[in-house]
């Protein structure tokens, strides 16, 4: 296969299979039901082994091209934790939390992950189209060039070719790369919150924070974007402020 895009359109000739674990809709429904944005926590500790396992579950989330453009900071240092709480405006969901996790989207680590994927492919049997995809197509798709000039050229080419056939379009710019990385990281955040719910603990995804102060506390540069701060703990009796409110499903679920 000479065309790297064939990894998207042709089924490779492989016989790989995985064992499926037993599940139940009822158990998952309970996890979904129990997952609420909890604003006040008790003093009950979250065992370190639970934190470790759930963070690993986060890394199992689907992500674009398996480039894993995420980082998760489990804030253990008391001084840094205090600074993160302050950056979250001292809201109860942060102030009473037993643990804080800062979810960060990375715009620059895809290059390292791409190299590691190619190295892994060299050690095993993978379809040629897969290695070609990472060698040729990934740099073309995610590179933007200085001042996003390469991205601008890609936009012009896609606009022309797209008249005649479907073509991959975004990302064309740093802003597009931010959207790309944040989407991937948000998928992992959902895994994390569902994971804590499965363990009987609660979470609150806080977008209400001073991202500049959070980045300063963690020593993050311009290629890191704070997606959310997730607080973790056991809900207090007044931890949930009211019943879950959702509008009519017909507003959001469209059958076309």
CB–CB of 170/177 below 8 Å?
Answer: no
**Locate tokens 């064992």: which residue?**
19
Average pLDDT value for the chain? 94
- Give the C-alpha separation, 72 to 186, whole Å: 11
Q: What are the DSSP calls for 167-223, one per residue?
A: ------SHHHHHHHHHHHHHHHHHHHHHHHHHTT-EEEEE--S-HHHHHHHHT--TT
- pLDDT, residue 4, reads 62
- pLDDT, residue 125, reads 78
CB–CB of 225/101 below 8 Å?
Answer: no
In the beta sheet, which residues pair with residue 99?
A: 232
| pLDDT tens-digit readout, 95-141 | 999 999 999 999 999 999 999 999 999 988 788 888 899 999 999 99
- pLDDT, residue 2, reads 56
- pLDDT, residue 1, reads 45
Those residues of the chain that have pLDDT short of 50 are 1
Non-local CB neighbours of 88 within 8 Å, separated by 6+ positions: 94, 206, 208, 209, 210, 229
**Locate tokens 């949930």: which residue?**
240
Identify the structural domains of the chain with CATH numbers, from first to last: 38-110+173-237 (3.40.109.10), 111-160 (no CATH)
CB–CB of 33/24 below 8 Å?
Answer: no
Closest CA to 64 of 133, 132, 127: 133
Closest CA to 36 of 195, 248, 252, 240: 240
Q: What are the DSSP calls for 87-144, one per residue?
A: HTTT-HHHHT-SEEEEEEEESSTHHHHHHHHHHHHHHS---HHHHHIIIIIHHHHH--
- pLDDT, residue 124, reads 82
**Cα–Cα distances in Å, from 47 out to 52, 78, 157, 159?**
9, 17, 53, 52
């Amino acid at each position: 296969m000479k065309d790297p895009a064939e990894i998207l359109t042709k089924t490779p000739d492989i016989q790989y299979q995985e064992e499926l674990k037993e599940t139940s809709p009822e158990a998952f429904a309970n996890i979904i039901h129990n997952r609420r944005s909890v604003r006040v926590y008790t003093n009950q500790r979250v065992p370190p082994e639970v934190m470790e396992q759930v963070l690993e579950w986060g890394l199992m989330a689907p992500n674009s091209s398996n480039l894993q453009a995420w980082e998760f900071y489990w804030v253990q240092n008391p001084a840094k934790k205090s600074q993160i709480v302050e950056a979250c405006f001292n809201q109860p969901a942060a102030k009473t939390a037993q643990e804080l996790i800062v979810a960060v989207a990375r715009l620059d680590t895809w290059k390292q992950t791409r190299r590691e994927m190619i190295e892994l492919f060299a050690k095993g049997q993978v379809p040629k189209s897969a290695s070609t995809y990472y060698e040729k197509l990934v740099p073309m798709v995610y590179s933007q060039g200085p001042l996003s000039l390469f991205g601008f050229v890609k936009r012009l080419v896609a606009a022309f070719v797209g008249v005649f056939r479907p073509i991959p379009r975004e990302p064309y710019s740093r802003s597009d790369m931010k959207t790309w990385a944040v989407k991937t990281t948000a998928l992992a955040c959902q895994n994390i919150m569902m994971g804590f719910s499965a363990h009987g603990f609660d979470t609150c995804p806080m977008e209400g924070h001073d991202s500049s102060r959070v980045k300063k506390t963690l020593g993050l540069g311009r290629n890191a974007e704070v997606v959310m701060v997730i607080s973790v703990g056991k809900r207090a009796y007044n931890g949930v402020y009211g019943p879950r409110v959702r509008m009519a499903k017909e507003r959001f679920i469209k059958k076309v």
